Structure 1
């Protein structure tokens, strides 16, 4: 039994990090310097699951008043 993961043992390109999907920003990996695509990651997380407030921050900054408001 080894401590290496199956992908490491077979030499497959992979990442041990998780992809964090943001609402209004680009996805990011928890491993610094990761260059593989989002689809090749095993773990995918919504940004709310890791305590990111970008969804609330973006909705707060948007003006709720309609441009077509009369009066």
Structure 2
């Protein structure tokens, strides 16, 4: 049985980790050997609040009175 993924077998650049998109910071990946945090390299993309980051908790502008 072959444990390599389809992208590995084809020699395509990709990552087995998940990219975490931050609202206020640069995206990061869960894989230490990641070639880069670009979204196209990853099959899994998470918003940072899904992993407990609080940078998305930016105060929303106050609603304007009409």
Cα RMSD after superposing both structures? 1.8
Give distance in 2, aligned partners of 1:19 and 1:13. Answer: 15
Compute the TM-score of the two structures, normalised by the length of structure 2: 0.72
Looking at secondary structure, tell me which structure has more helix per residue. Answer: 1
Structure 2 alignment gaps of length 5 or more: 62-66
**More strand as a share of residues:** 2
- Tell me the matched-pair count: 59
Highest Rg: 1 or 2?
1
- Alignment match, 1:23: 23
Structure 1 runs of 4+ aligned residues shifted over 6 Å read none
Q: Could you say what secondary structure the match of 2:35 adopts?
A: coil
Q: Which runs of 5+ in 1 are unaligned?
A: 65-71
1:40 and 1:5 mapped to 2: Cα distance?
14
Q: Distance in 1 between matches of 2:11 and 2:40?
A: 18
TM-score, normalization by structure 1: 0.68
